[in-house]
Amino acid sequence: MTVTAVVGAQWGDEGKGRIIDYLAQEADVVIRFQGGDNAGHTVINEYGKHALHLIPSGIFNPRTQNIIGSGCVVNPQSLLNEMESLKAAGVDLGNLWVSTRAQMLMPYHRELDVLEEAARGKDTIGTTKRGIGPAYADKAARAGLRMGDLLQPEWLETRLDNALRTVNRKIEILGGQPLNGEELYALCMEYREKLGDRIIDTLPMTRRAIEQKKHILLEGQLGVMRDLDWGIYPYVTSSNPTASYAASGAGLPARTIDRVIGVVKAYSTAVGDGPFPTELHDADGEKLREIGGEFGATTGRPRRCGWFDGVAIGYAAWLNGMTGLAITKLDVLDSFEIIKICIGYKLPDGAIVTDSMPDTPVLMHVTPVYEVWDGWLTPTSDCRHWDDLPKEARAYLHRISELAGIKIDYVSVGPERDQMFAV
pLDDT digits (tens, 9 = 90+) for 202-236: 999 999 999 999 999 999 999 999 999 999 999 99
Query: Which of 88-92, 163-167, 298-302 has the weakest average pLDDT?
Result: 298-302
CATH number assigned to the domain covering 103-196: 1.10.300.10
pLDDT digits (tens, 9 = 90+) for 355-369: 999 999 999 999 999
129 pLDDT tier (thresholds 50, 70, 90): confident
The rounded percent of the chain whose pLDDT value lies above 90 is: 82
The predicted structure's pLDDT at residue 379: 97
- What is the pLDDT averaged over residues 364-376? 97
pLDDT confidence of residue 298: 65
| Domain 264-422 listed as CATH 3.90.170.10 | yes
Q: What positions carry a catalytic annotation?
A: 13, 41
The pLDDT of residue 41 is 76
What CATH number belongs to 2-99+199-261? 3.40.440.10
Q: Give mean pLDDT, residues 400-422.
A: 95
For 71, residues 6+ apart whose C-beta sits below 8 A from its C-beta are 33, 34, 35, 102, 239, 245, 248, 249, 250
252: left (phi over 0), alpha (psi -120 to 50) or beta: beta
Distance CA 170, CA 189 (A): 25
**Domain residue limits, the chain:** 2-99+199-261, 103-196, 264-422
What is the distance between the alpha carbons of residues 353 and 207, in angstroms, rounded to a whole number?
43
pLDDT classification of 279: cutoffs 50, 70, 90:
very high
pLDDT band at 124 (very low <50, low <70, confident <90, very high): confident
Q: What is the pLDDT of residues 30-64, one digit of tens each?
A: 999 999 998 777 887 778 888 889 999 899 998 99
Above 80 in pLDDT, residue 300?
no
pLDDT score, position 1: 66
Q: Quote the mean pLDDT of the chain.
A: 94
* Confidence band of 18 (pLDDT split at 50, 70, 90): confident
Is the per-residue pLDDT at 104 higher than 70?
yes
Rounded Cα distance between 219 and 41, Å, is: 10
Q: How far apart are CA 273 and CA 160, in angstroms?
A: 33
CA angle 38, 296, 221 (to 5 degrees): 45
Q: What is the mean pLDDT of residues 305-311?
A: 98
Give the model confidence (pLDDT) of 399-409 as tens digits: 999 999 999 99
In this prediction, residues 157-175 reach a mean pLDDT of 93
How far is the C-alpha of 30 from the C-alpha of 385, rounded, in Å? 27
Note the pTM of the prediction, 2 decimals: 0.91
- What's the rounded Cα separation, in Å, for the pair 83 and 56? 11
